[in-house]
Amino acid sequence: MCELGARFGIERRTVSNILHRNGVPMRRRGLSPDQVDDAVHLYNLDWSLARVGEHLNVDHSTVLTKLRERSVLTRDTHGRPRS
């Protein structure tokens, strides 16, 4: 979806909506347990969610979800711990 979005100059979500509307089966891409371990390690090295997601080729929200599942304390956009 990211490649199609870049190719046609549209958002990834727009690509997703078009594919869904046309009944194209979607494959879910997540993170393997080893990739989650890597994400936790990198995030603890003060990498941003966006940077970790880019490194693992997933959206930052996927990284955030997996960190929360592992009970990792997250930071706000200014690097302060969330309460």
The pLDDT value recorded for residue 14 is 94
pLDDT in tens, 45-80: 999 999 999 999 999 999 999 999 999 999 988 888
The pLDDT value recorded for residue 27 is 74
Task: Check: CB of residue 11 under 8 Å from CB of residue 5.
Answer: yes
pLDDT in tens, 11-43: 989 999 999 999 998 876 789 999 999 999 999
Which pTM does this prediction carry? 0.65
Q: Is the pLDDT of residue 83 over 80?
A: no
Q: What angle do CA 44, 75, 40 make, to 5 degrees?
A: 30
